[in-house]
Every structure is written in C-alpha cells, then in structure tokens.
Structure 1
Amino acid sequence: MNPTVLAAPAADGMSWLQVVVLSVIQGITEFLPVSSSGHLRIFSTWMFGSDAGASFTAVVQLGTEAAVLVFFFKDIVRIVVAWFRGVFDAGHRDDPDYRLGWYVIIGSIPIAVIGFLGKDLIRDAARNLWITAIVLIAFSFVFLIAEKVGRQDRPVDGQSLEGLRFKDAVVMGLAQCLALIPGVSRSGGTISAGLFLNMSREAAARFSFLLAIPAVLASGLFSLPDAFEPSVGQSATGIQLVVGSVIAFVLGYIAIAWLLRFVQKHSLAWFAGYRIILGLVVIVLLSTGTIPAT
C-alpha cells in the first residue's frame, strides 16, 4: 500500500501510520515509568500535527492491559479464587491472597471516583502540552526522592506480595490517580509511593501492575464509544482500534517482563533522567512554536 495513503487521515479520522506508530509507543511506554499518555500526547502532536485524544489512548490501553492479564494470569486466578472463598467462607479469610484481592479493590476506588468526576477535565484541559512537559520534569524528582528516602526494607514478598497492608493499598491507590495527568506515569507514581512506604521496587512494581487492571479496563471500556466519535481528538475505526490494541499487547507483554527484571537491580533514576530530557525538549518545541500546546 502506498505510504502516503497510510499517512493521510480521512477527514478527522486517524491514518493507519498514525495508529501503528502511536500503538507502538503505547505498548513500549505503558508499563515503564515514563508516562504513556504523555508520550502519546507529545508524539501525536509532534509527528502528526494533532492530538489523537484521550479516548484513543484509553482504548488502546486495553491491549496493554490484556498483556497484564496474560502475564499475571496464574496470580490473578489465585487471588480471585481466594477472594471468593474468603467472601463466602470466614475460615479462608486468613489467606494472604484473600486480603490482596481486597487491597486491589480498595486501591482502585480513588481513581474510579476521580476519573469519573473529572473525565471532562482529563480529556481536555489536562492534555495541554505545557502541563505535560512540566509534569514530566517535576515528577522525575519525586522518583529521585523516593529512591533516596525509601529504605526498601519492608518484609513484603516480591512475588506473592504477602506482607502488604491496607495502608499500602490506600496510598498507592491515591498515587495512581496522579496518572490521570499526562506526564506523571501510572507505574512511576505507584512504584514511587511503594518506595516511600519502604517496599522493595519489585514488590511495588508487581502490586502496581495488579492495581492497574481494574482502572485501565474500566477506562478503556468506558471510552470505547467515544473513540469512534470523540468530543476531543480524532476518531478511529474499529479495525484500527483492534490492530492498535494487538500491537500494544505484544510490546506491553515484553515491557512488563523487562521492567520486573530491571527494577530488581536498577533504580528509577534512569527513567527520571530520560523524562527530564524529554520534558526540556518539549518546552523548547513549545517555546519556538514548533508544536502547539493544545
């Protein structure tokens, strides 16, 4: 197929080239602490001249979320079974997986409430690129502080998450809400919160992934109708959303496996440095009028 056809969108719709490029970016960045929504917002405007919109982002996130479901399938089944057993049989309520199920539910409540009440702000005003650039830089220092002060000596198992507490679920759940602002990063915010709670990076990252499941699934399904006829951003066809989600799934699965290995021996400082550089580049592009802020 002619590349110019791929690159050219029809009316206000997304081109195939745009869908593929942004889906690749989504798959690579969703689980890294660099902000996938921020990257999509920046590169959509920089490379294609317009914001694809929050709804496209939310729907394609279903692909990366499917990667979480597959990667953690055994853990998810174990937690769900233990939770249902505990709900209907008090004798199973000492099971750590029963409590973990409740922690995921509790930690998901803040973003569900704030995401629903602030959906219009999230889809419009919060996507200003000045905000994205500043948040990319500012939140990088949160990563660095978390690495500095977090002792990582809490007895929370990096695999089973045994030792997790109610307070951890609440604090990390609140931190997840910050990811509604492009530039923060869902994983970066929740992992940093875990470090402030003296959890290991591995344990914080694992709970971060589990905590993301309800939020991202709900966001993607809720935004599905709007992705076809968005109030803000561009529309995408059904087949484009499917292809984009598949691309995001494959790369997202690889990113999960890589990040869980990486955080065992390396700090978030590596990502902070990258985020600061990217934020400064965006500020220069905005200041010179190379790209528009909205």
Structure 2
Amino acid sequence: MTALHLFVLAIVQGITEFLPISSSGHLILVPALTGWPDQGLAMDGAVHVGTLVAVLLYFREDTKGLFLAALGAVGIAPARRAVADTIYAKLFWALVIATIPAVIFGFTVKVSGLADLMRGAAVIATTSIVFGLLLWVADKKGATEKALDRMAVKPALIIGFAQVLSLIPGTSRAGITMTAARYLGFGRQEAARFSMLLSIPTIIGAGVLLGKDVAESGDPVIWIDAAIGAGLSCLAALAAIHFLMKWLERANMTIFVVYRVLLGIGLFALIGTGAI
C-alpha cells in the first residue's frame, strides 16, 4: 500500500465514522473511484481501532462511568456504588439493549453473504439520498428537550433496530441512529452522544469479526502500515467528533443532508457515464 493510499484511507475512515454520512460507503468508494486495490481486512480493522480509541478518548468521562456500570452489573459492589447516583447504570443497559439487534442481524447478514451483494455504487447512492432525507425530516420534526437520562428500554430498542439498517452500505450507522434519536425527541447533541457511545460495542464487535477473518485468511499483516493507519484515523476521528459536537451546539443536521444528497446524485451521474 502506498503512503498516499494509506493516508486517504485512514483520513476518510476517521472523518466519516462519526459524521452522519456513512464510513462504509466512503471506504467502498475509495477503490472504486481511484482504481486502487482493496485495502484488505487487516487495514480495515486497523483504521476501525483508531476510531474506537478516538471515541473512548473524547468521551472519557462517559466511558469511565459506563465501565464502572459494567463492573457493577456483574456484581462488583464498589463499582455499582460509584455510579449509583449517576445516569451511567441506566445508560449502560440502554446501550446493551440497543446493541442486541445489530449483533443478531449483523451475524445473519455476514453468514448469508448478503453483505457482498450490497457493496455496489448504486446501493450507496440510493441509501445516501433516502436516509439523508429521512435524517432531515426527523431533525426538523423532532423535539430537542430530551437528555440521555430519559433513555429507557423502548427508545433504546428503537434506536437499536434503526442501527440494523446501517448494515446496508451508504446508510450510515451514525446517521440512522441520530435520525431515530431525533425522531424520539432527543436533543441534537444528546442524539450524537448516544450514537457515538453506541459505536463502542459495535466497533469492538466488528473488530473481533475482522480479526477472525484476518487470522483465517492467512494474509500477512504489515504492522507499521496498520499502526500508521490507526493513528491517522484516530486523529481524524477526534477532529470530526469535536467538529460535530460543536456544530450541533448552534446548528442543525442540514449540512450533512445536503452533502449526502449531492453525493448520491454525483454517484448516479458517474454510474450513468460508466465511470464506476
């Protein structure tokens, strides 16, 4: 892998993982638009590790609280007492509940081979536009008063089932979970915060599966490239998270909707001309 290929891959993954514009769709498009070879499973795993580190660092107070809540949930009394008067015990179980549908459906899609059938530019173009417009509707119609202390079983489950749709490339895991949260009345920053915390078990699960695939494939892992990719994607993801949270302090989701619609239209144009 060339230095330019590595740089582009890591930056694209880092920026798009947490913005509501679809990281998987962009990663599929990189080789399609540039003619570069597929980056391989090991590099996919490395850049995902980078984004995982970024969200853990940015939301370090939340991740600390959730870690204590997890320890408390398995019977460690000091940890349970440490989060007794916080939102983290409740938030931990909300994240568990919201993760379950993606685990079930994700495994089903993987073993059925449907994932490979959905990796086309036309699919990405369609989902980019459709789910972008859905985000716009939910953001305009949704109330903004709910904070994460209102996250209960029902809304967590709804967001969890919405996350299943992100198995279709171009949908955007961040985008569809924020859409569901906004539809349920959670504030923009709270919707983004829950979406990014929900990414932690999702990325870990995807990383485990990628690691298994790499081990079974026997492909050599170029550790230096993997480390550079992880580091670059971490830095890009930190910048993207900071931008998103600051943007949502004062503005809505429209900028991301416009980008998604223009991306979809551009892809359809390239498909029509036979460029991809």
- TM-score (structure 2 length as normaliser): 0.89
Point out the more displaced range, 40-49 or 191-200.
40-49
Point out the more displaced range, 246-255 or 86-95.
86-95
State the 1:215 CA deviation: 0.7
The one-letter amino acid of 1:149's match is: K
Output one character per residue of 1:45-99: Cα deviation in whole Å (capped at 9) or x when no partner. 1013444467643442111111011111222112221343355358876753111
Equivalent residue number for residue 122 of structure 2: 130
State which of 254, 258, 274 in structure 1 corresponds to 2:243: 258
- Residues 69-84 of structure 1 aligned to structure 2 (within 5 Å): 69-84=56-71
Whole-angstrom distance in 2 between the partners of 1:104 and 1:274: 29
Equivalent residue number for residue 90 of structure 2: 99
Whole-angstrom distance in 1 between the partners of 2:134 and 2:221: 35
Equivalent residue number for residue 244 of structure 1: 229
Change (3 A) 1:230 1:189: farther
State the 1:133 CA deviation: 0.8
State the 1:145 CA deviation: 0.9
The one-letter amino acid of 1:131's match is: V
Whole-angstrom distance in 2 between the partners of 1:123 and 1:229: 18
The answer to whether residue 154 in structure 2 is matched with residue 167 in structure 1 is: yes
State the 1:20 CA deviation: 1.7
Equivalent residue number for residue 11 of structure 2: 24
CA contact (8 A) 1:137 1:276 kept: yes
- Residues 108-257 of structure 1 aligned to structure 2 (within 5 Å): 108-120=99-111, 121=113, 123-154=115-146, 156=147, 161-227=148-214, 237-257=222-242
The one-letter amino acid of 2:255's match is: W
CA contact (8 A) 2:115 2:167 kept: no
Whole-angstrom distance in 1 between the partners of 2:157 and 2:171: 18
Change (3 A) 1:175 1:54: farther
State the 1:15 CA deviation: 3.5
Output one character per residue of 1:109-165: Cα deviation in whole Å (capped at 9) or x when no partner. 1111111121153541111111011111111110111012212233x1xxxx22221
Change (3 A) 1:242 1:221: farther
Whole-angstrom distance in 2 between the partners of 1:22 and 1:122: 24
CA contact (8 A) 2:11 2:232 kept: yes
Give me the CA root mean square deviation. 2.4
Whole-angstrom distance in 2 between the partners of 1:119 and 1:239: 29
Change (3 A) 1:201 1:179: same
CA contact (8 A) 1:133 1:279 kept: yes
CA contact (8 A) 2:5 2:36 kept: no
Equivalent residue number for residue 62 of structure 1: 49
State the 1:221 CA deviation: 2.6
Structure 1 SS opposite 2:47: helix
Change (3 A) 1:52 1:86: closer
The one-letter amino acid of 2:7's match is: V
- TM-score (structure 1 length as normaliser): 0.84
Structure 2 SS opposite 1:203: helix
Whole-angstrom distance in 2 between the partners of 1:217 and 1:286: 34
CA contact (8 A) 1:59 1:223 kept: no
State which of 230, 241, 258 in structure 2 corresponds to 1:273: 258
CA contact (8 A) 2:46 2:227 kept: no
CA contact (8 A) 1:59 1:221 kept: no
**Structure with the higher fraction of residues in helix conformation:** 2
